[in-house]
Structure 1
């Protein structure tokens, strides 16, 4: 019943890659890290909160943030435990088939340590943003590696590739992503660069997203950001008042609304977008405010959802893949 959005574009290539990898030449050269990281030995993984030793083959993993859930599927590694999704509960629609039957171990911000321990994982994938305070407890349960920011899907892919002894697969996935990005930019040609902003309305406030998940993909794809929106150290800002609306001015605005309080979110959206300052924005005057999916463009935060953003870009700008 549930399928990955535009899965026909991506999943066949993933299947072909893993099939070829399984049948690959055993004499293929490997890096020193890969030699040290053979499934029978011990390898040391550097991560955001230190280093972790992993011994032998990893078969049972628990993933504690949405991007790690996604990347595990991309790497053909079904977790034994995951955290619940922010919306579309309990698991994002695009991952439900692949994660069917997986145990839920709490929320991203409050994982259930007892439930994790009962699963007896070989490895836990956590994030500094969410789990720094419980890292020692997680590490007592099983070797734990920690990504930095939850929205940094490339960092998650690199970390999990090393921890799962799937560096070759992770590198190939990144090459596939880069190839699609390059093709999109080639198809757009002289239309790029286009200045874009990312806005977000919630039940009680509005936000502008800077270089978070979608912002990084847009930068890769050749889009530019308004002055001050390209700070790599800042996810974005909460707008203090409607007088801050001009900070969202750009040629194109991508907007998504977040949360489960549907009525309140809609009220906030209508109040802000009905304000005279909103109507003065370039994108608004030129009918270039584009509504996008909150899961795809923000909360999923993984490799597969990055491809879904690219799918949207092809569709929005009406270019052929």
Structure 2
């Protein structure tokens, strides 16, 4: 009898213990569920060109519709879920970021955004510039909260340092302002060392040319982050044909008047290579001091790279490789 009573008591005790454990686990699961719901319901307000927009506190999937925004996100270790393609590069990722963007969905181009593709991604947030927003902002807003980045004034638009403001605004979305500031500081330190190398050059006059299908363009001294990088950050001096503010077209006849010790250039993929081949055949080109001295650098997407920390870091490396060749 005593043995049976003991067994009965043990079984009842076990049942009570299991019930208590089950209740505790249930409370834990309920608590975790409520915590998750709380996180999902929390929001923050972001001020941008279209006013103020509430976004989730924890953003996961972001569609970015401008190459500089891809750069900014990757700078703070965030990968976009969707990106625009670059038609001039075969409708694929922008080349200098392609390795890091693998797996991101392509949602059309800046000229023709694919809204259905964005809808399929079901993003938490969309990042757009004022050009795209002027056309389809309301459509984007129907899919997900949309932040419109960019300059509010012409003065800001021409400020070569403005890219940092967009980087910091994107960093705020992810609560990563400290990381963004760290990356900017690292870049500035690297640029300062590069400037010291340029300062050692005896001749520093430089022209930046863009070879397009039917024209040669020379970039100005200011109003674009790329030329600010060349003339302010690195310390090159503008050539005699480099305008302070305006980009201009050059004929082959005036090219000898550049008086440039160094020529950096970008060749557009559509029609540019053919034009550049023709230019290189000309004696007016061959007789330039920069060409004769081998001081010509064919750059790699610098016009895009200048808008972000990753791109600018690559630009420093390419410039230093050129100087130390």
Query: TM-score by structure 1 length?
Result: 0.73
Aligned to 1:67: 68
Q: Secondary structure at the match of 1:185?
A: helix
Aligned to 1:87: 89
Structure 2 contact 211–276 (Cα < 8 Å) conserved? yes
Residue 74 (structure 1) shift: 1.6
Aligned to 1:202: 212
CA distance in 1, matches of 2:257, 2:90: 31
CA distance in 1, matches of 2:309, 2:83: 16
In structure 2, the CA distance between the partners of 1:248 and 1:70, relative to structure 1 (3 Å rule), is: farther
Q: Any stretches of 5+ residues in structure 2 without a counterpart?
A: 1-38, 152-156
Aligned to 2:226: 214
Match of 1:318 among 308, 313, 324: 324
- Equivalent residues in 2 for 1:21-32, closer than 5 Å: none
Structure 1 contact 251–283 (Cα < 8 Å) conserved? yes
In structure 2, the CA distance between the partners of 1:191 and 1:45, relative to structure 1 (3 Å rule), is: farther
CA distance in 2, matches of 1:192, 1:164: 46
Aligned to 1:154: 164
Aligned to 1:122: 124
Residue 55 (structure 1) shift: 3.8
Structure 1 contact 195–224 (Cα < 8 Å) conserved? yes
CA distance in 1, matches of 2:204, 2:90: 32
2:303 aligned with 1:298: yes
Residue 279 (structure 1) shift: 4.8
Aligned to 2:186: 176
Q: Any stretches of 5+ residues in structure 1 without a counterpart?
A: 1-37
Q: Secondary structure at the match of 1:256?
A: strand
CA distance in 2, matches of 1:192, 1:121: 53
CA distance in 1, matches of 2:50, 2:258: 35
Aligned to 1:283: 290
Q: Secondary structure at the match of 1:53?
A: strand
In structure 2, the CA distance between the partners of 1:46 and 1:278, relative to structure 1 (3 Å rule), is: farther
| RMSD of aligned residue pairs (Cα, Å) | 3.1
Aligned to 1:32: none
User: 1:11-64: CA deviations, max 9, x gaps?
Assistant: xxxxxxxxxxxxxxxxxxxxxxxxxxx997544333344443334221111111
Aligned to 2:276: 269
CA distance in 1, matches of 2:127, 2:105: 15
Aligned to 1:25: none
Structure 1 contact 63–125 (Cα < 8 Å) conserved? yes
Structure 1 contact 214–309 (Cα < 8 Å) conserved? no
Structure 2 contact 85–106 (Cα < 8 Å) conserved? yes
Structure number with the bigger relative contact order (C-alpha 8 A, sep ≥ 6) is 1
Structure 1 contact 54–143 (Cα < 8 Å) conserved? yes
CA distance in 1, matches of 2:194, 2:299: 18
In structure 2, the CA distance between the partners of 1:172 and 1:270, relative to structure 1 (3 Å rule), is: same
CA distance in 2, matches of 1:243, 1:53: 56
Aligned to 1:139: 141
Q: Secondary structure at the match of 1:145?
A: strand
In structure 2, the CA distance between the partners of 1:281 and 1:173, relative to structure 1 (3 Å rule), is: same
**Larger CA Rg, structure 1 vs 2:** 2
Q: Secondary structure at the match of 1:110?
A: coil
CA distance in 2, matches of 1:222, 1:136: 44
CA distance in 2, matches of 1:154, 1:256: 24
CA distance in 2, matches of 1:128, 1:70: 18
Structure 2 contact 198–235 (Cα < 8 Å) conserved? no
